[in-house]
Amino acid sequence: MIKTMKSLPLGTTACVVIALAACSATRTQPTSAAADLAAITAFNTRYLKAINDGDIATLSSLTDEDHIMIAPNRPPVVGKAANDAANSRGFQQFNIDETWTPLETVVDGNLAYQRGTFTVVASPKAGGANRTTHGNFLRIYRRQPDGSWRMSRDMFSSDQPPATN
């Protein structure tokens, strides 16, 4: 026999309602593909602004604790602290003007990846010629328990041939 909420005693009904409310408060609400793409686009706007402003605090807040950056011709930079230190050194030496063009963004549950192209113009603060590079990137984002996104992995390569010494 199936009982409806109407036939349950008042105390039981209240307990069911409270239990359902508690469950829904602790879960990340499902989002649409369009909402996820919009959230990642907004994330990228904040991340790119932080790079171009030399804002290490904001940049750090947008990465996971286990963030890994894989750059050409060097070992991976593992962990938020190591990434913050590397970014701080770069911001001390250069003013950055970076642009991105995402070509593909795929969201699958609580993970997403994005592939695209970039251009960076690094102007030495001590003077000298600007350094311009362009290339490709691949990033992995992780949805946080509150529904926001953070960058978990960042890999990039240059389209230009290596400099000769």
Evaluate whether 120 touches 132 at the Cβ level (below 8 Å): yes
Q: Is the pLDDT of residue 39 over 50?
A: yes
Q: What local confidence, expressed as pLDDT, does residue 162 receive?
A: 73
Structural domains of the chain, ranges and CATH numbers in brackets: 32-158 (3.10.450.50)
Q: Is the pLDDT of residue 5 over 90?
A: no
Instruction: Give the chain's mean pLDDT.
Output: 85
What are the tens digits of pLDDT across the range 85-137?
999 999 999 999 999 999 999 999 999 999 999 999 999 999 999 999 999 99
Confidence of residue 160 (pLDDT cuts 50, 70, 90): confident
Alpha helices per DSSP H over the chain: 10-26, 33-53, 56-61, 80-93
Q: What local confidence, expressed as pLDDT, does residue 119 receive?
A: 97
Express as a percent the part of the chain with pLDDT over 70: 81
Evaluate whether 83 touches 67 at the Cβ level (below 8 Å): yes
Evaluate whether 103 touches 115 at the Cβ level (below 8 Å): yes
Express as a percent the part of the chain with pLDDT over 90: 76
For residue 135, which of 113, 87, 89, 103 has the smallest C-alpha distance? 103
Question: Phi and psi at residue 126, in whole multiples of 5°?
Answer: -85, 0
What is the torsion angle, in degrees rounded to the nearest 10, for the CA atoms of residue 95, residue 93, residue 154 and residue 35?
-30
Residue with tokens 């593992």: 78
For residue 142, which of 107, 101, 105, 102 has the smallest C-alpha distance? 107
> What size, in residues, is the chain?
165
Q: Is the pLDDT of residue 155 over 90?
A: yes
d(CA 88, CA 53): 12
Residue type, 37: L
Q: What local confidence, expressed as pLDDT, does residue 18 receive?
A: 41
The strand pair at 63-70 and 149-158 is best described as parallel
- Predicted TM-score (pTM) above 0.75: yes
